[in-house]
Amino acid sequence: MLFPSPSSVAFRLGVPYIMAVHDLQHRIHPEFPEVTASGAAEYREFLYTNGICQAEAVLVDSEVGREDVLEFYGHLTTPDRIRVLPFVPPPYLVRATREAVSATLVSIGLPDRYLLFPAQFWPHKNHVRVTEAVALLRRDDLDVTVVMTGSAAGPIRAGVLADVVDIVARDKIGDLVRVLGYVDNATIAALYSGATGVLLPTFFGPTNIPVVEGWAMGVPVITSDIRGIREQCGDAAVLVDPLDTAAIANGIRRIWTDAVLRDRLVRAGTERLRSNQPTAFRDGLASVLRDVQRGLLISDLRGDST
> Are 257 and 110 found together in one domain?
yes
Q: Residue 143 is which amino acid?
A: D
Average pLDDT, the chain: 94
CA proximity to 146, closest of 154, 156, 137: 137
> Are 103 and 26 found together in one domain?
no
> Are 187 and 265 found together in one domain?
yes
Tell me the pLDDT band of 191, cut-offs 50, 70 and 90.
very high
Among 114-118, 180-184, 267-271, 299-303, the least confident range = 299-303
The answer, yes or no, to whether residue 7 has pLDDT greater than 80, is yes
Residue 279 lies in a domain: no
- Interval 23-36: pLDDT, tens: 999 999 999 999 99
Mean predicted confidence (pLDDT) in 33-53: 96
**Calpha distance 69→60 (Å, rounded):** 8
CA proximity to 114, closest of 225, 181, 189, 193: 193
> Which of residues 85, 107, 128 is at a domain's end?
85
> Are 214 and 155 found together in one domain?
yes
Residue 292 lies in a domain: no
> Are 60 and 104 found together in one domain?
no
The answer, yes or no, to whether residue 305 has pLDDT greater than 70, is no
> Are 226 and 130 found together in one domain?
yes
Residue 127 lies in a domain: yes
Residue 8 lies in a domain: yes
The domain in which residue 131 lies consists of 98-273
Residue 92 lies in a domain: no
Residue 218 lies in a domain: yes
The answer, yes or no, to whether residue 126 has pLDDT greater than 90, is yes
> Are 249 and 112 found together in one domain?
yes
**In the chain, pLDDT over 90 holds for what percent of residues?**
90
Strand ranges, E, within the chain: 2-3, 18-20, 57-60, 82-84, 115-118, 146-149, 177-181, 197-200, 221-224, 238-240
> Are 74 and 117 found together in one domain?
no
What pLDDT sits at residue 275? 80
**Calpha distance 1→6 (Å, rounded):** 12
Residue 196 lies in a domain: yes
> Are 113 and 22 found together in one domain?
no
> Are 55 and 175 found together in one domain?
no
- Interval 68-108: pLDDT, tens: 999 999 999 999 999 999 999 888 888 999 999 999 999 99
- Interval 210-267: pLDDT, tens: 999 999 999 999 999 999 999 999 999 999 999 999 999 999 999 999 999 999 999 9
Residue 109 lies in a domain: yes
The answer, yes or no, to whether residue 118 has pLDDT greater than 80, is yes
What pLDDT sits at residue 300? 67
Which pairs from 139-145 meet CB under 8 Å and 24+ separation? 140/249, 142/253, 142/256, 142/257, 143/175, 143/176, 144/114, 144/115, 144/176, 144/252, 144/253, 144/256, 145/110, 145/111, 145/113, 145/114, 145/115, 145/175, 145/176, 145/177, 145/178
Mean predicted confidence (pLDDT) in 147-174: 97
The answer, yes or no, to whether residue 306 has pLDDT greater than 70, is no
What CATH number has the domain bearing residue 114?
Answer: 3.40.50.2000
- Interval 10-21: pLDDT, tens: 999 989 999 999
The answer, yes or no, to whether residue 40 has pLDDT greater than 70, is yes
In the chain, the number of structural domains is: 2
Instruction: Look up residue 258 and give its DSSP letter.
Output: -
> Are 162 and 51 found together in one domain?
no
What pLDDT sits at residue 41? 96
Tell me the pLDDT band of 304, cut-offs 50, 70 and 90.
low
* Bond prior to 206 in cis (omega within 30° of 0): yes
